[in-house]
Amino acid sequence: MKTIEEIPKEMDVLNLHGIGDLRFEKKETYTLTKDHVLVKIKYCGICSSDIERVFINGTYHFPTIPGHEMSGQIVAVNDEDRELLGRKTAIFPLMPCFECDSCQKEEYAQCSNYNYFGSRCDGGYSEYLLVPKWNLVLFDDELDYKIAALCEPGAVAIHSINIGSIKKGDNIAISGTGTIGMMIALVAHGKGANVTVIGRSSESLEFSKSLGLKTLLTTELENKTFDKVYEVVGNNESINQSISICDNFGTIILVGNPKDNVNLDKQIYWKILRKQLVLKGIWNSSYNQKVNDWKEILELMAEGNIPFDSLISKEYSMSEFEDAFDYLRNSKEKKLKVMFKNE
């Protein structure tokens, strides 16, 4: 084994012992195994799905360390992986079975029997993580760990842009002002698309305005139409509205993950028929030899033309987790990504 620093026997983690029972505690540090490296986690984003895991739904078993939006440094490797030592890396959080039909086609997001950091097994709210080499997405020293920790939502945004075949001049609307919505807006804008962000309140649109994007309130949509509409909220109102504002023969890209049942009025459903709309669903991202949304977002981040850093609202150390979740759940401030920092 090769290391760049002494690895402590115990590490700090945030461990979920039950719904609403997240604890900052010590845990035995991983020991290195074959085909894996030990990563020191530098930043881990708090996903809105983590908030639901911690406070509402729980994880597949308890205790579990949540967190799947990670960047870090490779600090211990097996002798044959010497060239990886010290490298900066993002981590693709899905560990596929490599055996099912989807895996045979390298469509790993559709794997029928996968493991997942931070939900099905321990994840990134942790000082260290043992990571299969296959899941490493290395990046150059010039790029900050902090921005690279936006890689997971960023890869979903790239995937959404690719599935929507966004190109220069496309007239697109984005319904939703959260991190993924904003990332889609920024990347699409960067590609030269004509982007309008739709939100329910003028406060929710302030950030988009500050980035120079066009905005519309949900009350200002009468007679407005768009070739492509991104639905990034996942509730009835937004889904119905997306269908209404999509132009004839247009495309709706469904990104938002609904918490409740979705109901369509007959009048709205008819619009799908009459306008011959195309509806496309988005799940996770592509991570294979042909299409790798992770490499694509890291390249965009490294180019530095898109202000990804503006998407990070606050950072906390893991010991301040109560404040972090309190801010996310209770603060009235407009916030995007909040991260745990281990530097």
260 secondary structure, DSSP code: S
Alpha-carbon torsion (155, 159, 160, 162), positive or negative:
positive
Residue 73 CA to residue 76 CA, distance in Å, equals 9
**Min dist. Cβ of residue 95 to Zn ion (A):** 10
Helix or strand holding residue 342 (H, E) = none
Residue 8 CA to residue 188 CA, distance in Å, equals 44
| Tokens coding 66 | 């949540």
Q: Which amino acid is at 43?
A: Y
66 binds Zn ion (CB under 5 A): no
96 binds Zn ion (CB under 5 A): yes
100 binds Zn ion (CB under 5 A): yes
149 binds Zn ion (CB under 5 A): no
Residue 229 CA to residue 240 CA, distance in Å, equals 12
Distance of CA 107 to the CA centre of its chain: 18
Q: Going residue by residue from 42 to 61, which x/- string records binding to Zn ion, judged by CB under 5 A?
A: -----x--------------
Which of 32-40, 102-110, 199-207, 226-234 is the region at the interface with Zn ion (rule: CB under 5 A)?
102-110
134 binds Zn ion (CB under 5 A): no
**Min dist. Cβ of residue 34 to Zn ion (A):** 21
Helix or strand holding residue 148 (H, E) = helix 145-148
Nearer to Zn ion, 152 or 296 (CB): 152
Which of 71-79, 91-99, 204-212, 215-223 is the region at the interface with Zn ion (rule: CB under 5 A)?
91-99
Candidates 297, 333, 299, 296; CA nearest to 314 is 333
Which of 32-40, 93-101, 228-236, 240-248 is the region at the interface with Zn ion (rule: CB under 5 A)?
93-101
**Min dist. Cβ of residue 103 to Zn ion (A):** 3
111 binds Zn ion (CB under 5 A): yes
103 binds Zn ion (CB under 5 A): yes
Residue 221 CA to residue 198 CA, distance in Å, equals 9
109 binds Zn ion (CB under 5 A): no
138 binds Zn ion (CB under 5 A): no
The binding site for Zn ion (CB under 5 A) comprises 47, 96-97, 100, 103, 111
